[in-house]
A and B are shown apart, each in its own frame.
Chain A
Amino acid sequence: QKEVEQNSGPLSVPEGAIASLNCTYSDRGSQSFFWYRQYSGKSPELIMFIYSNGDKEDGRFTAQLNKASQYVSLLIRDSQPSDSATYLCAVNIRDNFNKFYFGSGTKLNVKP
């Protein structure tokens, strides 16, 4: 059973702060890692993906991957109220890139 774990939250941060979202996964064969944002009542939209250990930056977003610790995180700098959403972590595995496993998501509230 592949498991992707996320703290359900809500995680509350003030506007302008750094929001840190975490995700752990059980399968050491996990290959690539994806962060999606889902606004209430809407479909998930891809923020970024990472497959190598280390950091990957895209604008205000930074994904951090540590395969040894089976841990991936998403940092949102200068958080805005518009960042308030549920953030979903997803992984696919080396044995079958076509299969994806999602966490249940972390709800982020950015307070003005």
Chain B
Amino acid sequence: EAQVTQNPRYLITVTGKKLTVTCSQNMNHEYMSWYRQDPGLGLRQIYYSMNVEVTDKGDVPEGYKVSRKEKRNFPLILESPSPNQTSLYFCASGSRLFEQYFGPGTRLTVT
């Protein structure tokens, strides 16, 4: 089954404790992206990747890091999480036509 998976699905952590949210796709897509979704603000793009070792900033990259060492994986790293990073995070992958397929989401709470 073609899918985008994210782990963990739910995470509660404390300020400053480094965390990684994993994202994996099995559709051989070159394009992958991370978004955060906040009430009233919609989806905002954090980072995207056009291919292995090629990443670039989206609209709200501050406080986040990404890496793309393999085509199927695109982890999101929060080196020092803060409460304003409490949000619902979505990973997506897409074809050349940018038909993005979204993962199930990761709900992160930073206290």
Contact = CB atoms under 8 A, between A and B. Distances in A.
A102 B99 contact: no
A44 B90 contact: yes
B98 A43 contact: no
Contacts of B50: 98
Interface residues of B, number: 24
A62 to B, nearest CB: 18
Interface string B30-52: 01010100001111110010100
Q: Would you list the 6 A-B pairs with minimal beta carbon distance, nearest first?
A: A104-B42, A102-B43, A43-B102, A102-B42, A44-B102, A98-B48
B58 A99 contact: yes
Interface of B: 31, 33, 35, 40-45, 48, 50, 56, 58-59, 90, 97-105
B48 A88 contact: no
Interface string A1-44: 01010001000000000000000000000001010000000111
A100 B98 CA distance: 10
Given A43-B105, A98-B48, A98-B50, A92 B98 contact: yes
A52 B11 CA distance: 42
Interface string A88-112: 1010100001111111110000000
